[in-house]
Amino acid sequence: MQRQFALCLLAAALGAGAAWVYQQTAVPHRLTAQEPLLRPPLVRPAEPPPGTPNPWRQAPWAGDPLAGTFAGSGLEDFTPEERTNILVYEKTNRSVVHITTRASQRELLFLEVPAEGTGSGSVLDKQGHILTNFHVVEGAQQIRVTLHTGDSYEAVVIGHDPPNDVAVLRIDAPAEDLVPIELGDSSRLRVGQIVYAIGNPFGLERTMTTGIISSLNRSLPSRGHRTMKSIIQLDAALNRGNSGGPLLDTRGRLIGMNTAIASSTGENTGVGFAIPVDTIKRVVPQLITTGKVIRASAGILRVALTERGLQIATLEPDGPAERAGLRGFRVIREQRRRGPFIYEERRIDRSQADIIVAVDGEKATTPDAFLSLIERHMPGEQAIITVLRGGKLVDVPVTLGAGE
């Protein structure tokens, strides 16, 4: 179920009052008669006499990325920018779905009050798989997906990945009503690139907004004290209900999934964030197949943050790190006698524990950074973990195992 998360990390660039906010429904603002227009309306000149060339008719634009897609549709009457906007929407809007959720919240003693949420999603294939954010459906007891046809279907969650805020639903809908979205490539995105967002802000179905990529490789706090990496920052208007909807390029390809805004009020401030499609392409096949994401694991269960690096505290018994010879804290057991009684005393020896400083040559200064570097690998691959041992740097090859 979608709910607002006011996270603890504040955006310094936005001032002390701004926090990450995940979108959900709210009452839209309406202009009053006292509010001035931002600019006067454009006035189109009168049509010229018959036979006179029409100055408003545009010649086909050779640089239009979707030129010719809808030949004979009358798009030559629009500016190149307008044609691109129209063609992107025509290509993709039928792939966007409206997601509504219901859950019960217990209040007072035995009284349960129903809670409703709303969000967006994208059709992935003709089998009825729907892509959305995990926070849109988290805790939901009932999920319904409405297609572009207006038909609504009961949905089930077949897989979710909370650290990446990704979930996959499935609906039993006719294949002819399902229009899969085309997946793009987020590795080649550039700041300043035009992007489009389609979703259901305030329940207004398949609403499109446009903007540019404001920055790349942002980080957002996630579940379990984890951090989502390589996040796309954009200035296209996102509001409550846009979560889970597609972020598109000028060719109508999915390049990200809209997931959060930075705001102190929950309303759009021009600072939005999207999960890159390359993350989605890595996660979704596993969710469809197994319902969860299998990540590479080094078998290091706990570390202690020190000034010199991450000191290994606990290792998985007979796990990858222990088999590779990495060292954690030692538990020393000693028997003591007090009068007629014998008891066991345990103490922790930290002196021999390795201190992690890097993985594959990249610094690992926090537990989250260490996990992110390990999870670049697949289970069975080898990672080189550099540790400080006895005052010297030692490279230890570790064949990684599998974990969740």
pLDDT of residue 89: 94
* Range 12-41 average pLDDT: 40
Residue 165: active-site member: yes
pLDDT bin (cut points 50, 70, 90) of residue 35 is: very low
In the CATH hierarchy, which top-level class contains the domain 95-177?
mainly beta
Task: Check whether 10 has a pLDDT greater than 60.
Answer: no
CATH number for the domain running over 12-25+180-290: 2.40.10.10
Instruction: Tell me how far apart the alpha carbons of residues 157 and 160 are, in angstroms, rounded to a whole number.
Output: 7
**In degrees rounded to 5, what are phi and psi of residue 224?**
65, 35
pLDDT tens digit sequence for 177-229? 999 999 999 989 999 999 999 998 887 888 999 999 999 988 888 876 778 88
Q: Which of 122, 160, 165, 297 is catalytic?
A: 165
Q: Indicate which residue of 95, 98, 122, 135 is catalytic.
A: 135
Examine the pLDDT at 19 and tell me if it is beyond 50.
Answer: no
> What are the residue ranges of CATH 2.30.42.10 in the chain?
297-403
Percentages helix, strand, coil for the chain (3-state, rounded to 5) are 15, 40, 45
How many whole angstroms separate alpha carbon 276 and alpha carbon 278?
A: 5
CA distance 327 to 332: 14
Range with the lowest mean pLDDT among 102-111, 271-280, 321-330? 102-111
**What's the average model confidence in pLDDT over 63-86?**
70
Question: Mind listing the pLDDT tens digit for each residue in 295-338?
Answer: 899 999 989 989 899 999 999 999 999 999 999 998 877 777 77
Q: How confident is the model at residue 60 (pLDDT cuts 50, 70, 90)?
A: very low
Is residue 243 among the annotated active site residues? yes
**Residues carrying CATH 2.40.10.10, the chain:** 12-25+180-290, 95-177
Which region, left, alpha or beta, applies to residue 87 given φ > 0 means left and ψ of -120 to 50 means alpha? Answer: alpha
Determine the CATH number of domain 297-403: 2.30.42.10
The answer, as to whether pTM is greater than 0.85, is no
